[in-house]
């Protein structure tokens, strides 16, 4: 009898919490995508400094992905990341043709801002300062 009561309570709690989790999941995906993107931008900066080669991050808004590339005698793609299907670029401002260029010192050619949006129209903003500092407020 006690086992049935416990199972009934678990079933009731599951019925209540599952819809909330499904509603919150896109927001978790957005924050994870923003953290990963900021981390990858910092990675490109680190590569530029350690390898003493210009590295770029290219944001392909049409295909919902971004690439880290090394510019040398030939352009080499270091990493390609596809955004989650529920995440898209809302706006990319201040960057030259959607590129962030990191020089040997870790500075960027232009400061800019990338705004990601999920299906719930919640946004997350990544700021890139002229010094190369990447900010995820």
CATH number for the domain that contains residue 75 = 3.55.40.10
* Residues of the domain holding 106: 2-135
Q: Give pTM, 2 decimals.
A: 0.84
Question: Phi/psi at 6 (nearest 5 deg)?
Answer: -60, -45
Which positions ≥6 away from 91 have C-beta within 8 Å? 113, 114, 115
Rg (CA), the chain: 20
Q: What is the pLDDT along the chain (137 residues), one digit of tens a residue?
A: 778 888 888 888 877 777 776 677 788 999 999 999 999 999 999 999 999 999 999 999 999 999 999 999 899 999 999 999 999 999 999 999 999 999 999 999 899 999 999 998 999 999 999 999 999 98
Total number of domains in the chain: 1
Do you know the residue count of the chain?
A: 137
Q: Can you tell me the distance from the alpha carbon of 71 to that of 13, in angstroms, rounded to the nearest whole number?
A: 54
């Amino acid at each position: 009898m006690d086992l049935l009561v416990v199972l009934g309570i678990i079933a009731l709690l599951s019925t209540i919490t599952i819809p909330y989790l499904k509603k919150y999941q896109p927001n978790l995906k957005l924050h994870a995508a923003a953290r990963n993107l900021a981390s990858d931008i910092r990675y490109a900066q680190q590569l530029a400094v350690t390898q003493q080669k210009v590295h770029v991050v290219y944001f392909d808004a049409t295909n919902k992905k971004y690439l880290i590339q090394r510019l040398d005698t030939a352009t080499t793609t270091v990493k390609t990341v596809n955004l989650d299907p529920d995440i898209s670029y809302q706006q990319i401002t201040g960057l030259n043709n959607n590129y962030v260029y990191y020089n040997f010192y870790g500075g960027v050619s232009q400061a800019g801002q990338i705004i990601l949006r999920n299906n719930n129209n919640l946004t997350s903003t990544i700021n890139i300062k002229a010094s190369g500092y990447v900010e995820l407020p």
